[in-house]
Amino acid sequence: MARFRSFFLELTPAQIESLIDDAQKGRNVNNVAHDVNNMLGAIMAYAELIRMDSTDPEVNRMIDEILGAVEKGADILSALTAISRRTVRSSSEVCEIATVMESLNLLFVYEFKLGLIQVQFVSDEGVDSAGIHEQVLQRVLMHVLANALEVMADQEKKDLTIRASLEGDNVLIAVKDSGDPIDHDVLERMFEPGFSTKDESHVGMGLSVARQLMTRGKGSIEYDPQAGFRILVPRAGWST
């Protein structure tokens, strides 16, 4: 705790502003999602009305495209609001690995497309659930994926693989990107609160928060230069 107090006392004005901005965005997510959902509902309703009166195959095809886009937008909003809610730890929480993977793909789909990133989500046979709150695992992986996108930003070839497998009594989620190897001095400090290789406006809390979340969940997160990020999650419920 003293370490975190020291970190906050050393924040620059730009970093404090960034933290406040991020917090405000989180509080506003649910309000914005509610309004956007209402608009998506109106679009869907009018599209359905048009299709009821249409006999033109091309018009119906375009309406199907509209409805598909609306449904995808609703799924993205659902994933965003789920992550923005306050997480409640529970000894009985079990999350579905496939559900977490799908939500991450929805949340990062535009970054993947714009960055021309080849992404693979892979779950080995027998890997279906893990004993961790779904929102916690989503948040941890969001921090890791955000880091991977930054590392690959200047790469010509961008490959990203997220694989879930079994390792003893745990589920191992490995995240491997095609970015340049991380320098040794960065490896030693990458999970420290406040450490960042970017400009001073970056708070450098992403990977530190990810480790804190995993520690509370009786799991772990490490980085291996060869294998990438290794996230170990209990297969059973939260340990007490």
Q: How confident is the model at residue 192 (pLDDT cuts 50, 70, 90)?
A: confident
Please state which CATH number belongs to domain 2-84. Answer: 1.10.287
Residue owning tokens 């480790």: 211
CB contact set of 190 (below 8 Å; sequence gap of 6+):
182, 207, 223
- When pLDDT is averaged across residues 47-62 and rounded to a whole number, the result is 86
pLDDT at position 84 = 55
Higher pLDDT, 217 or 84: 217
Q: Of 78-92, 160-174, 197-211, give the range with the top mean pLDDT.
A: 160-174
- When pLDDT is averaged across residues 161-174 and rounded to a whole number, the result is 92
Token pair recorded at residue 39: 């608009």
Residue 93, helix vs strand vs coil: coil
Residue 89, helix vs strand vs coil: coil
66-81 pLDDT per residue, tens:
888 887 777 766 666 6
Share of the chain above pLDDT 70, in %: 70
Q: Which homologous superfamily does the CATH classification assign to the domain defined by 95-234?
A: Histidine kinase-like ATPase, C-terminal domain (3.30.565.10)
In the chain, domain spans: 2-84, 95-234
Average per-residue pLDDT for the chain:
76
Residue 228, helix vs strand vs coil: strand
Closest C-alpha among 234, 39, 208 to residue 129: 234
CB 110 within 8 A of CB 145: no
Q: Judging by DSSP bridges, how do beta strands 220-224 and 159-167 pair with one another?
A: unpaired
Q: Where are the beta strands (DSSP E) in 32-181?
A: 95-96, 118-123, 129-130, 159-167, 170-177
Residue 160, helix vs strand vs coil: strand
Radius of gyration of the chain (CA): 20
In the sheet that holds 159-167, the strands lie side by side as 118-123, 159-167, 170-177, 228-234, 220-224
pLDDT at position 95 = 85
CB contact set of 75 (below 8 Å; sequence gap of 6+):
106
CA–CA separation, 169 and 171 (whole Å)? 7
| DSSP 8-state secondary structure symbol assigned to residue 182 | P
219-234 pLDDT per residue, tens:
899 998 888 999 999 8
pLDDT at position 191 = 78
